[in-house]
Amino acid sequence: MTFKTVSVIGLGYIGLPTAAVIASRDIQVIGVDVNQQAVDTINAGNIHIVEPDLDIVVRSVVTTGNLRATTIPEPAEVFMIAVPTPFYHGEDANGEASHKPNLSYIESAAKAIAPVLEKGNLVILESTSPVGATEKLAGWLKEARPDLSFPQDAGDTADINVAHCPERVLPGYVLQELVSNDRVIGGMSNACSARAVELYKTFVRGECITTNARTAEMAKLTENSFRDVNIAFANELSVICDKLKINVWELVKLANRHPRVNILNPGPGVGGHCIAVDPWFIVDSCPEEANIIKQARLTNDAKPYYVIDKITKAADEFKRPVIACLGLAFKADIDDLRESPALQIVQELASRDIGDIIAVEPNIKALPENLSKEGVKLATLEAALEVANVVVVLVDHKEFKAADSTQFSTKVVIDTRGIV
């Protein structure tokens, strides 16, 4: 069975590339977003996010008419929901920070598509979600459309099929990974899974493996928690090594020579919108049981403060030092500053007023307003190294890795990424 129309709800870092790739398979794609500016940008054949080669694909599918964006959902055979699932910042009964998942964007998406749903439609939740979210989505749809049957009541014979298929693409490699990664497809019934597999087969070259919706939700959370726990291990090692006067990078390389050891890289903390968020969904569901997962989050969240203290101590050795901070993005070779430990560190240093701060970020043209207001200056690597007393490596961008190490020899260097 082929699909003629697919609607993608949420045209962000996941939704837009997904919409563009499906449209490139000669399927009519209707992209829906609440942001009018994003909709206008896409309809003009441009993109509002940074992802290698995405501009070329979007331009081509908008030109052929296969991708069109709108703010108001229209009928389609498939609705793929790719909206954010952040958490609410709050406090629990013991005064500890709590991280309750915020499903309001999914709920809004459900309410927006419900009026145009038709018998035979498939609804897929792609957003990373806590266990039970797909069932909630089906519940919201049912509430809005009592005239249709849903899999929670009608199983394989439901009018509307609902499945969870978590996105797993790595920012910077989205277009490749969308096609090459295996997909975990969790239908609310066997019929839902089978129909979702048909859809993914239109653009995925990897395997499509079916399970139920709850297992698919947990699989995604598990993948990112696995990475978070392993980075926490590396970050804890880096702090231990500082105390024991051991080079952690050399240590990790040596330990990784063992055939069954594969330690990840320590850094200034864990950023991005996934790894620092998703483990909290497991902790929130099972607070008594998820101990290692919670501790990993706390360890990784504490790392930026450890780095800030180290920089402050180094700065204390000078009267009014110039501190060059290399990198603001949340990881190498991207322009994305959101949830970035590097940005958090630079912001905190600026507010402590411990010296003149220069930021080097080759992937952006202007500093975020709050940093400029605090007096932080944006400069090239060469200009920054010329005047800096203290150099802090916060991101392992290719430009920094390519730098001549003798340029750092007269500086106090704090290298959180092990590249100098």
Q: Any idea which residues carry the catalytic annotation?
A: 220, 274
Burial class of residue 241 in the structure, from the number of CB atoms within 10 Å of its CB (0-12 exposed, 13-18 middle, 19+ buried): middle
Q: Is 286 in the site for ligand SAJ (CB under 6 A)?
A: no
CA 4/CA 21 separation, integer angstroms: 14
Closer to ligand SAJ at the Cβ: 163 or 169? 169
Closer to ligand SAJ at the Cβ: 264 or 383? 264
Closer to ligand SAJ at the Cβ: 15 or 151? 15
Q: Is 304 in the site for ligand SAJ (CB under 6 A)?
A: no
Residue 319 Cβ vs ligand SAJ, minimum distance, rounded to whole Å: 33
Stretch that binds ligand SAJ, among 48-56, 134-142, 161-169, 202-210 (CB under 6 A): 161-169
Task: Give 2-45 as a DSSP string.
Answer: --SEEEEE--STTHHHHHHHHHTTT-EEEEE-S-HHHHHHHHTT
How many chain residues touch ligand SAJ (CB under 6 A)?
A: 20
Window 223 to 252, contacts with ligand SAJ (CB under 6 A): 223-224, 227, 231
Residue 343 Cβ vs ligand SAJ, minimum distance, rounded to whole Å: 11
Q: CA 122 → CA 40, 198, 199, 264, 408, distances in Å?
A: 27, 11, 9, 39, 57
Window 355 to 414, contacts with ligand SAJ (CB under 6 A): none
Question: Tokens at residue 208, please?
Answer: 């499509």
127: left (phi over 0), alpha (psi -120 to 50) or beta: beta
Beta carbons within 8 Å of 418's beta carbon, 6+ residues apart: 248, 249, 265, 266, 396
Closer to ligand SAJ at the Cβ: 73 or 269? 269
User: Judged by CB under 6 A, which of 61, 123, 184, 270 binds ligand SAJ?
Assistant: 270
8 Å CB contact between 69 and 8? no
Window 162 to 181, contacts with ligand SAJ (CB under 6 A): 167-171
Q: Is 331 in the site for ligand SAJ (CB under 6 A)?
A: yes
User: Judged by CB under 6 A, which of 79, 330, 400, 408 binds ligand SAJ?
Assistant: 330
8 Å CB contact between 284 and 101? yes
8 Å CB contact between 292 and 231? no
User: Judged by CB under 6 A, which of 80, 133, 216, 275 binds ligand SAJ?
Assistant: 275
Q: Is 271 in the site for ligand SAJ (CB under 6 A)?
A: yes
Closer to ligand SAJ at the Cβ: 31 or 341? 341
Phi, psi angle pair for 67, to nearest 5°: -120, 130
Question: Tokens at residue 163, please?
Answer: 């499945």
Q: Contact residues for ligand SAJ (CB under 6 A)?
A: 128, 167-171, 223-224, 227, 231, 264-265, 267, 270-272, 274-275, 330-331
